[in-house]
Copies of this chain bind each other. A is one copy, B any other.
Amino acid sequence: MISLTDTPLRPGELLTRFCEDRSETGAVATFTGIARADSGEGTILELEAYPGFTEAEIGKIAETARGRFGLDDILILHRIGRITPGEAIVFVATAAKHRRAAFEACDFLMDYLKSRAPFWKKEHGPASARWIQPREEDHADVARWEKEKS
């Protein structure tokens, strides 16, 4: 299930529901990305999506992960709108029979989400605002999976 929301994410409740009735699953990995207050200042993140298109693009990534890692299930929730430090930006959960598949799929999904997903992200600092691009690290992270594939 893939969903965008402009209200706060509740990773714990999402994990509780995701783990229910999983007597054949074995392994659940999750990742929660939290907005950081790097500067100690009142930085606000603003995330914009293209409703419909963004979910569909993430859905393609999720289907790739499902096939590549043999997953039982995937959950991706992403915040949009204004996000204050300490709030979750993204929650990803993967379920698989064994832990390596669950971990790698979660890692893979996050790398794609951080560098390729159709979001536009603006950082509102105390004095000014700026649009953010993926970090060099994010590009390097996602490149790992393309190398491995070949």
Tally of chain A residues near chain B (CB < 8 A):
42
Q: Nearest residue in B to A28 (C-beta to C-beta)?
A: B32
Q: Nearest residue in B to A17 (C-beta to C-beta)?
A: B12
Q: Which residues of B contact A37 (CB under 8 A)?
A: 23-24
Task: Give Cα A86 to B95, complex, Å.
Answer: 13
Asked if residues A103 and B100 are in contact (CB atoms below 8 Å), the reply is: no
Asked if residues B85 and A31 are in contact (CB atoms below 8 Å), the reply is: no
Asked if residues B29 and A36 are in contact (CB atoms below 8 Å), the reply is: no
Task: Give Cα A1 to B129, complex, Å.
Answer: 39
Can you sample 14 A-B contacts with CB below 8 Å?
A: A12-B13, A12-B17, A13-B16, A23-B36, A23-B85, A26-B33, A29-B31, A29-B32, A30-B32, A31-B99, A31-B102, A98-B137, A100-B137, A103-B106
Q: A: which residues have CB within 8 A of B?
A: 10-17, 19, 21-38, 85-86, 88, 97-100, 102-103, 106-107, 110, 114, 137, 141
Known: A12-B17, A27-B31, A29-B29. 19 other contacts (CB 8 A): A11-B16, A12-B16, A13-B16, A15-B15, A15-B30, A19-B88, A22-B34, A22-B86, A23-B86, A25-B34, A26-B34, A26-B36, A27-B32, A27-B33, A28-B31, A31-B99, A98-B137, A99-B114, A103-B107
